[in-house]
Amino acid sequence: MSDAQPILKVSNIESYYGPIMAIRGVSLSLSEGKIVTVLGANGAGKTTILKTISGVLDPLKGAVEFEGKSVQRMDPDKIVRLGISHVPEGREVFPFLTVRENLAMGGFLRTNRDEVAQDLERIYGYFPRLKERLDQPAGQLSGGEQQMLAISRALMNRPKVLLLDEPSLGLSPLLVKEIFGIIRRVNAEQGVSILLVEQNAKKALETADYGYVLEVGRVVMDDTCARLMQSKDIQEFYLGAKEDSARGERRWKKKKTWR
């Protein structure tokens, strides 16, 4: 990506679910203050990469470095303390806790109450609806509101790196536009480096600086998002309007001309 030392670097990692290898020698990097996206069909291994970085899965091989220090096989809570926050696929808010309590859980490691209060006000600026629903159980929120809460809870840790897994999943086009607008604002205003896994390739490429394309657990293409959007392969398999996505994914898996 660049000659600068990346804030997050993944080198040749292999991770498994039981006997099944989910990612095969994946390498990628995230520079400080940038947004990087990982694209790929369902089952390509995108979520596994984020779980490996955040410590939910331990890689069998390879290395994960954060700010130049090894973090692979470190407990997830220690990784959070270092400054990496993970917003998982499916939001996973605490459904029986209120919005206020979910946000408090995101900042439970912090001791400076004034800074916590400042960050809460910043979050209310991003997502005014959350302020209106502070005493409502999170399980009663709409899907879009739960996604807002999941992102906000992660931001309450003041992360240096934010891992986002499918933030547009199940949302209306209007809410997708709103969520991605906030992602860009968080990156620009707070300088948070973001690793974004996303099925909505068009939105992801419009939002990120650099992208990796994953196929059956391997990186098969990487470049700036501007160049990826001009790639005929990306246009055909991810950005084409005429071909339905299921057929496109089947054709993508059959294509073996890149490497």
Complete edge-to-edge strand list for the sheet that includes strand 8-17:
20-30, 8-17, 61-66, 69-70
pLDDT at 110: 86
Sign for the CA dihedral angle at 121, 113, 81, 88 comes to negative
Q: How far apart are CA 78 and CA 69, in angstroms?
A: 13
**pLDDT 10s digit of each residue in the chain, 259 long?**
545 679 999 999 999 988 889 999 999 999 999 999 999 888 889 999 999 999 999 999 999 999 999 998 899 999 999 999 999 988 789 999 999 999 999 988 888 889 999 999 999 999 999 999 999 999 999 999 999 999 999 999 999 999 999 999 888 899 999 999 999 999 999 999 999 999 889 999 999 999 999 998 999 999 999 999 999 889 888 876 434 444 444 454 445 444 4
Q: How far apart are CA 50 and CA 88, in angstroms?
A: 8
CA distances from 164 to 84, 111, 149, 176 (A): 11, 25, 13, 14
pLDDT at 256: 46
Fold of 34-56+82-254: Rossmann fold (3.40.50)
Q: Kindly report the pTM of this predicted structure.
A: 0.88
pLDDT at 259: 42
pLDDT at 218: 93
Ordered by start, the domain boundaries in the chain are 34-56+82-254
Burial 209-223 (b: 16+ CB within 10 A, else e): bbbbbbbbbebbbbb
Count CA atoms closer than 13 A to 162's CA, side-chain side: 29
Sign for the CA dihedral angle at 144, 145, 151, 154 comes to negative
pLDDT at 252: 46
What does the chain come to in residues? 259
3-state helix, strand, coil in the chain (%, to 5): 40, 25, 35
